[in-house]
């Protein structure tokens, strides 16, 4: 009976850990090789997902080739649709940028594109960082 209780307890812990999405990391970029960052995803009390994006060493978009106007953060959803989460503006000595966003579904992947403007509804520019390999 003790063995069954241990197995049940282990399964409960594994389930609870799986319910909390772990920290996601961006894959090294060939476009901006020094750029790196993480995304913390947590489920809130309303069953929404809060995403905290933190990026460092993200070159100014105007310094890219070709020059761009901004960086946008997107998430791929489980139905393969894409949702824009917001805009990143690197600043400071380490060219860091942060973004906090909320989504109703768990993100399958998060990626950052360099775009001409922030008003677009779908990614059209070059992918700078992504969490998928």
3-state secondary structure of 99: strand
Q: pTM score, two decimals?
A: 0.82
Nearest residue to 30 via CA among 1, 77, 64: 64
Encode pLDDT of 68-109 as tens digits. Answer: 999 999 999 999 899 999 999 999 999 999 999 999 999 999
Binning pLDDT at 50, 70 and 90, where does residue 22 land?
low
Average pLDDT for the chain: 87
Return the sign of the alpha-carbon dihedral for residues 85, 125, 88, 118.
Answer: negative
Going by their DSSP bridges, the two strands 109-115 and 126-130 should be labelled as antiparallel
pLDDT for res 23: 86
Just give the CATH number of 21-130: 2.60.40
Domain ranges of the chain: 21-130
pLDDT for res 4: 52
pLDDT for res 84: 98
DSSP symbols for 55-82 = EES---GGGSSS--SEEEEEEE-TTS-E
């Amino acid at each position: 009976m003790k063995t069954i209780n241990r197995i049940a307890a282990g399964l409960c812990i594994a389930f609870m850990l799986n319910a909390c999405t772990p920290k996601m990391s961006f894959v090294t970029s060939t476009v901006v090789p020094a750029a790196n960052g993480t995304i913390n995803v947590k489920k809130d009390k309303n069953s929404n997902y809060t995403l905290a994006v933190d990026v460092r060493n993200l070159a100014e978009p105007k310094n890219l080739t070709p020059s761009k106007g901004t960086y946008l953060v997107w998430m791929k959803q489980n139905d393969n649709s894409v949702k824009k989460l917001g805009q990143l503006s690197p600043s400071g000595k380490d060219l860091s940028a942060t973004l906090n966003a909320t989504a109703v579904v768990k993100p399958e992947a998060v990626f950052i594109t360099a775009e001409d403007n922030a008003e677009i509804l779908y990614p059209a520019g070059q992918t700078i960082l992504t969490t998928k390999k």
